[in-house]
Amino acid sequence: MFSMYVEMIRIRFLMMLAYRVNYYSGIAVYSINIGAYYFLWNAIYGDKVTMGGLTALQMVTYVSISWMARAFYFNNIDQEMAQEVKEGKVAIELIRPYHYLATKIMQAMGEGIFRFLFFSLPGMIIITFIFPIQYPSGFSIWGWYGISLLFSFFINTQINLITGLLTFFFYNNEGIMRAKRVLVDLFSGLILPISLYPEWAQAILNYLPFQAISYLPGMIFTGGIQGEQIFLSLGQQFLWILLLWIPIGMLWWQAKKNLVIQGG
CB of 189 closer than 8 Å to CB of 218:
yes
Query: Which parts of 17-56 interact with other proteins (CB under 8 A)?
Result: 18-19
**What is the C-alpha to C-alpha distance for residues 172 and 116, in angstroms, rounded to an integer?**
31
Strand partners, 55: 50
Q: Which is nearer to other proteins, 33 or 83 (CB)?
A: 83
Judged by CB under 8 A, does residue 259 bind other proteins?
yes
Q: Least CB distance from residue 19 to other proteins, whole Å? A: 7
> For 192-199, which contacts have Cβ atoms below 8 Å and span 24 or more sequence positions?
193/52, 193/54, 193/59, 193/62, 193/218, 193/219, 193/224, 195/52, 195/53, 195/54, 195/224, 196/51, 196/52
Q: Which is nearer to other proteins, 99 or 178 (CB)?
A: 99
260 binds other proteins (CB under 8 A): yes
Q: Is 250 in the site for other proteins (CB under 8 A)?
A: no
Strand partners, 51: 54
Calculate Rg over the CA atoms of the chain.
19
Nearer to other proteins (CB atom), residue 97 or residue 175: 97
Q: Is residue 201 close enough to count as binding other proteins by CB under 8 A?
A: no
With CB under 8 A as the rule, give the number of residues binding other proteins. 26
Nearest in space to 106 (alpha carbons), one of 38, 7, 175: 7
Each residue 96-125 as x (binds other proteins by CB under 8 A) or -, in order, gives xxxx--------------------------
Q: Is 183 in the site for other proteins (CB under 8 A)?
A: no
Binding residues (CB under 8 A) for other proteins: these are 3-4, 7-8, 11, 14-15, 18-19, 88-89, 91-92, 94-99, 256-257, 259-261, 263-264
